[in-house]
Structure 1
């Protein structure tokens, strides 16, 4: 099976038991009760199945965990200094991994089923499966202080897939923690998303805020987001274990050059059709145009570039209140008081959406009218 898995492009394969992480039954409800999942209500739904694989599928006897590397060929942090460009997480600069991995998992599952009376179910981050704890139990790596899986062979850059099977397979030994005293991942987080080592508050995480969060990004985090327009690689990129990582070898996961550092001005002009065309087949498309433009406008507001102010101003008349609100914040950061008030007279005075009006009031409050 290992030979077949590697032939399919997987970089690692290990086996664990469905009851290998009994602590999940207690840990997951505590995390949810603290509200650390934000508005990801799918984490609450079927939480019992997340905590116990046998609850999801009573027929499971073994869990096969597989990893495929997506290591970037450049330092993901370099683009953060290019304020007129957007920073996109490394995994999203390529074809949607759900599609790539699922097909390969089905092929491997079929290979296993053909060996005897064996049933299988395959999962790629689309079902109530706790992939990272199971991967740790299987020995693929360990969950670091940033809660992401770290592999001694592949660093932080592993995409995970799972095969639940009725086959009674020999389990591999779990991996142990090798973080030691290192806390680089904790210290670099721009928004303080780690209340303690090995704990993540998604509500403060840039990946959550730019991808999963549906409403306006809370004002307290906007400046810290910088030019990150889809996800964040900061805590992954600084991990010392990345020195062993290799660039993605699967051809279908090759990074697209046009997604490495796209111009913010170009992205701000995307209508829905252009957005769908540009990001077809990538994880970005699933977020939708309005949320994506919200992120782009926050980045424009953080750019400090007067040249980008017209791009933000153009979005003040967008059909989406989410986009309009982000545009107000952006122009409020870039325009002087008189220009901002002129923009308000043109676009904001008749605004009926409560959240957008609140954005205007906040922006104007930061630019008091000149005396006299």
Structure 2
């Protein structure tokens, strides 16, 4: 195996596929991180979880104990620097992502980072620039963002249908994003940053264009809303191609986890997110009714998407690169969410401030 010279020293060249399993460190083992550890251990081939890191030592020990040979490394930066680690999954709180991502880029190892890329558009752009500088030197990308819906078979099929032209030009997209319940600290701003962010990426993924402006409306709040918060919200995206995307985000339905997307085109429409179980129609004197089984949370609804996402990431990481949404996608999503928060606060249509992609590349500096 050859080596690559970086400011951190001489490191293995991950562009060469290791004969052994990819040795993965998972940073943050809360609900999402622990799920990734279990998935990598039980469902994904070509990878071994060799280390976990978490601010809560007891939790890290519990998760590590489920994987033979897995170590606990209390300092996440030490886990990234560990010579026994080939790639990293970041599932820590968002405020720690920038430092951890930059450390992965500095070391030259692939990383799958759960959203958000970082907490602000400016710091996300800094990650883009750091990776662009690395890519200019090596020809490889390292940062993949955990927008798992791109790997969901229904979303992939819908994107292919749009690209085929069978619907004509897409004109309007309708989205619904509903949760049964959220914790008491979940604010209206978090509805934008933590929930609507997925519809931001879905819009960009399906329509292949950027979002230019955001408007947020506050309907009458449900009595089940977190005290003082607006729930549901209606969010409107305007794209650079003149298309409109509306999002109903409702996080206290008391029902289950529902995610639906309908694309309306010039020559037809298509909807996904309905086939979650038995759908029954009944007519007659009692009228028509429909009964649908609803997933209890996102892990059931997008379980297959997570499987595909992790397997493709591992396969790509063994080649030293990524296979999915990258740092730019994370930055673009953060820029749209920033506009969404401003629109939520002001009640006014807000334009998205997105740096030109070429500028991000040209102005890149070494990590």
Fold shared per TM-score above 0.5: no
Task: Select the structure that is richer in helix.
Answer: 1
- Structure with the greater alpha carbon radius of gyration: 1
Give the alignment's TM-score, normalised by structure 2: 0.26
